[in-house]
Amino acid sequence: KEEPKKTLEPHEDEKLSGDMRELYDRLLPSDESEERRALLVKKLERILNEKWPGNDISVNVFGSSGNLLSSSDSDVDICITTPLKRLESMHSIAMLLSENGMEKVVCRASAKVPIVKYWDPELKMACDLNVNNPLALENTRMIKTYVQLDDRVRPLTKVIKYWTKRRLLNDAAYGGTVSSYTWTCMILNFLQRRDPPILPSLQKISGKRQNGAKDQETEFADDLEALKGYGDANKETLAELLFQFFRHYSYEFDFSKYVVSVKEGRLLSRLEKGWQPTNYMDKEARCRLCVEEPFTTNRNLGNSADDYAWSGIHGELRRAFEFLADGCQLDKACEEFVFP
């Protein structure tokens, strides 16, 4: 079989970089949506503290609302922190939200991380809410730090996230694919492995410190001033990075042998990780895609995609690559998937 195209021509590069910039500008959240996001936080804070006063309840955003990767229509991920343990069961919060006019309130109390989902009809926003999950707040802060380290990270990640959304590839809970968070880790690790690297491992370089989540190992370097210029020796353009991202995960990366590790800033072999594909009894190991959660490293963020889902995702990566290799057709690559 013919080898897939290796690089872009200068004129292709220029066109694709321009198209990406244009798309990125469109994807930035509007001021108006940022305002509604802030109002949602305030409103929740009020509702919760009026119901359970004196319990030091605070409302924090995480996920894309906190890591610079949101769009106007992104869900708001909220983590409530409180010493009032009773709220962790979620049922009373779900009830309170219904009583306060929230719609489509769904309580998934038995999930790994129990959550309540709801729709705020006044602010027109969907929200995922959990209680006392400091790890999510810290991994959000670390993603945000990576995003701020180099100017290329934010547009590249937002364009790829847009592609996953348009092709229905980012729904771990219902669609059987993988989460946006998994894709983000795959992108960051790809940037850590460029030559020269664009990103370091913030969990390996000097300047690490522990912040929130005191009882867990969540230390990482977060001094942006000290880290500035890390990726400057790498001159790759946005277009080149997008093209190489799809080329890499379509044709170069051997999913049967390697694990994506943002923590190590490199690939781990599935053997050294203990996630050999032949370990059928191990839920984390038998998956096709292995992506280590940076803080809880025994968690495989790829475990929501079964074999069938994975071959679909892999097919989509190749499809996107083909459209980019053939005249840099970003709009075709990101064409909305419609069920036949």
| Residue 142 token pair | 């670390």
- We find the least distance from the C-beta atom of residue 102 to ligand CTP, in angstroms, to be 19
Q: Is 136 in the site for ligand CTP (CB under 6 A)?
A: yes
Among the candidate windows 132-140, 210-218, 266-274, 311-319, which touches ligand CTP by CB under 6 A? 132-140
Q: Regarding beta strands 266-269 and 258-261, do their DSSP bridges make them parallel or antiparallel, or are they unpaired? A: antiparallel
* Contact residue for ligand CTP among 70, 145, 203, 300 (CB under 6 A): 70
The residues pairing with 60 across neighbouring beta strands, listed in sequence order, are: 79
Alpha helices in the chain (DSSP H): 10-27, 31-51, 64-67, 91-99, 134-149, 153-166, 180-192, 224-227, 238-247, 270-273, 307-325, 330-333
| Residue 291 DSSP class | B
Binding mask 239-278 for ligand CTP (x = CB under 6 A): ----------------------------------------
Residue partners of 42: CB distance under 8 A and separation at least 6: none
- We find the least distance from the C-beta atom of residue 77 to Mg ion, in angstroms, to be 4
Q: Regarding beta strands 76-81 and 125-131, do their DSSP bridges make them parallel or antiparallel, or are they unpaired? A: parallel
Binding mask 53-82 for Mg ion (x = CB under 5 A): ----------xx----------x-x-----
How many chain residues bind Mg ion (CB under 5 A)?
4
- Closest CB to ligand CTP among 139 and 244? 139
Is 37 within 8 Å of 125 (Cβ atoms)? yes
- Closest CB to Mg ion among 74 and 250? 74
- Prior bond of 196 cis (ω within 30°): yes
* Contact residue for ligand CTP among 29, 63, 114, 265 (CB under 6 A): 63
For 222, phi then psi, to 5°, come to: -135, 15
Q: Is 181 in the site for ligand CTP (CB under 6 A)?
A: yes
Report the residue count for the chain.
340
Torsion-angle region of residue 168: left (phi > 0), alpha (psi -120 to 50) or beta? Answer: left
* Contact residue for ligand CTP among 60, 82, 180, 192 (CB under 6 A): 180
- 82 interacts with, out of Mg ion, ligand CTP, none, CB within 5 to 8 A per kind: none
Residue ranges that bind Mg ion, judged by CB under 5 A: 63-64, 75, 77
Residue ranges that bind ligand CTP, judged by CB under 6 A: 62-64, 67, 69-70, 74-75, 77, 136, 139-140, 170, 179-181, 301
